[in-house]
Amino acid sequence: MRLPSAVPFLDREVYPWTKEEAIGWVKTTLGEGGKGNLFTLNPETWNETRGDTLAHAHWIPESVMAVWGMKKKGIKAPRTSGADLVFSLLERHSVPVVCWGGDLDTVQGIEANWCGEASIAAALNGYTSSLEEVVEACRRVEPCLLLAGLGAGRQERALSLIIPLLKSVVGIGVGGVLDILAGKRRRAPRWIVKNGLEAVWRVLPSGRRWKRLAQSHIPFVKEVLR
């Protein structure tokens, strides 16, 4: 499958891939013994990684705002929900998975609730596990997926440090998806995903996240319109 090439958008290269194309890239990369990072672009991940040099980065547009911004710049791109991408990979493809993020309850919940074709190789605490421990967990089972749920910015920078140290791993920044895998949060209803309103769904339980949403969306819109 020939995948669309990256296009320049704001301060980075973005791949206008559909969900199936992104899944195809993951399968091909691991099947050929390669490695790389898959990052989902939305105003928050953009804002938190401005100025960062990230290794092996493949950005795909996740949010309605990302697709809107690309359209304003004359770029047509599909929107791929990060949660949908991860769950499709886990449900349909047999691959070892290392999860890194959350607290002890999250780790235990992931181990207890795991299901799908993919196999859980390790679940590591996002607060206490070191980069070295994550690298060693991946080395034991690679080729594998490394799902990092450390928060926007931190997870992308951590994966950028880890992936160059490994032979065949695809790292994905997954944000709060690990809480869903652990049974601590519900997946957004299908109509919310379809309409690209996952960001609103995530901030509903937390007043603080509304402020974070504004802090990332306002500079993103300004940069697009500049």
Beta strands 7-9 and 57-61: pairing type? unpaired
Domain boundaries of the chain, sorted by first residue: 81-187
pLDDT tens-digit readout, 106-162: 999 999 888 778 889 999 999 999 999 999 999 999 999 999 999 999 999 999 999
Predicted pLDDT at 191: 67
Is the CATH number of domain 81-187 3.40.50.10700?
A: yes
Quote the pTM value: 0.90
Q: Smallest Cα–Cα separation from 140: which of 154, 124, 126?
A: 124
Predicted pLDDT at 174: 95
Q: Smallest Cα–Cα separation from 106: which of 2, 177, 50?
A: 177
Query: What is the amino acid identity at position 43?
Result: P
Asked whether the predicted pLDDT for residue 202 surpasses 70, the reply is no
134's enclosing H/E stretch is helix 131-139
Predicted pLDDT at 139: 97
Burial label, 89 (beta-carbon count in 10 A; 0-12, 13-18, 19+) = buried
pLDDT tens-digit readout, 98-108: 999 999 999 99
Beta strands 96-101 and 144-149: pairing type? parallel
